[in-house]
Amino acid sequence: MKTTRTTARAPSAQDQYVVDILTVVNGVPQQWRVDTRTTLLEALRDTAGLTGTKRGCDQGACGACTVHVDGNRVLSCLMLAAQADGRTVTTVEGLAGELGLHPLQEAFLRHDAFQCGFCTPGQLMSAACLLREPGRTRSDADIREYMSGNLCRCGAYDNIVAAIRDVAAQQAEDGA
Amino acid sequence: MRAFVYERPADVEQAVAAVAADPQAAFLAGGTTQLDLMKDGVWTPDRLVDITRLPLRGIMVEGQLMRVGALTTMEQLAAEPAVTERLLMVREALLAGASTQLRNMATIGGNLLQRTRCRYFRDPSVAACNRRSPDSGCAAVDNTARMHAILGVDERCVALHASDVAVPLVAVDAQALVAGPGGQQRHIPLTEFWVRADEGPSIEHVLTHGELVTAVDVPLLPAGWRSGYLKVRDRASYEFALCSAAVAVLMDGDLIADVRIALGGVGSVPWRARQAEQMLRGTHVDPVRFEQAGRATVAGAYTLPGTAFKVDLAVATLTRQLLAMTTEANS
Q: How many percent of chain B have pLDDT more than 90?
A: 99
Q: Supply the pLDDT for residue A3.
A: 43
Residues B240 and B150: their CA atoms lie apart, in Å, by 15
Do the beta carbons of residue B114 and residue B105 sit within 8 Å? Answer: no
Distance from CA of A75 to the nearest CA of B (A): 6
Fold of the CATH domain B59-112+172-219: 3.30.465
Do the beta carbons of residue B166 and residue B112 sit within 8 Å? Answer: yes
Of B28, B105, B238, Cβ closest to residue A74: B105
Q: Supply the pLDDT for residue A176.
A: 61
B139 to A11, A22, A90, B148: CA distances (angstroms): 40, 45, 43, 12
Of B1, B31, B36, Cβ closest to residue A4: B1
A144/B48 touch (CB, cutoff 8 Å), yes or no: no
Contact B234/A at CB under 8 A: no
Domain boundaries, chain B: 59-112+172-219
Contact B39/A at CB under 8 A: yes
Contact A71/B at CB under 8 A: no
pLDDT value at A5 more than 80: no
Contact A145/B at CB under 8 A: yes
Residues A66-98 pLDDT 10s: 999 999 999 999 999 999 999 999 999 999 988
Contact B55/A at CB under 8 A: no
* Interface-testing mutation among B48, B52, B101, B122, with chain A (most A C-beta atoms within 10 A): B101
Distance from CA of A49 to the nearest CA of B (A): 22
Q: Supply the pLDDT for residue B329.
A: 52
Q: Is residue A10 very low, low, confident or very high in pLDDT (cuts 50, 70, 90)?
A: low
Which of A14-23, A79-88, B148-157, B211-220 is predicted with the least confidence, judged by mean pLDDT? A14-23
Please name every residue paired with B158 in a beta bridge, in sequence order, or none if there are none. Answer: none
pLDDT value at B331 more than 90: no
Residues B139-176 pLDDT 10s: 999 999 999 999 999 999 999 999 999 999 999 999 99
Name the pairing type of β-strands A18-25 and A88-90: parallel
Q: Is residue A2 very low, low, confident or very high in pLDDT (cuts 50, 70, 90)?
A: very low
Residue type at position A166:
D
Q: Is residue A9 very low, low, confident or very high in pLDDT (cuts 50, 70, 90)?
A: low
Residues B30-80 pLDDT 10s: 999 999 999 999 999 999 999 999 999 999 999 999 999 999 999 999 999
pTM of the complete model = 0.95
Do the beta carbons of residue B26 and residue B38 sit within 8 Å? Answer: no
Contact B52/A at CB under 8 A: yes
Residues B252 and B255: their CA atoms lie apart, in Å, by 5
Of B6, B28, B102, Cβ closest to residue A60: B102
Domains of chain A: 18-94 (3.10.20.30), 103-175 (1.10.150.120)
Residues B204 and B288: their CA atoms lie apart, in Å, by 36
The average pLDDT across B184-201 equals 97
Contact B158/A at CB under 8 A: no
Collect all residues of chain B within an 8 Å Cβ-Cβ radius of residue A17. 3-5
Q: Closest Cα partner for B163 from B171, B208, B310?
A: B171
Q: How many percent of chain A have pLDDT more than 90?
A: 89
Average pLDDT, chain A: 93
pLDDT value at A102 more than 80: yes
Residues B230-281 pLDDT 10s: 999 999 999 999 999 999 999 999 999 999 999 999 999 999 999 999 999 9
Q: How many CB atoms lie within 10 A of CB A83?
A: 28
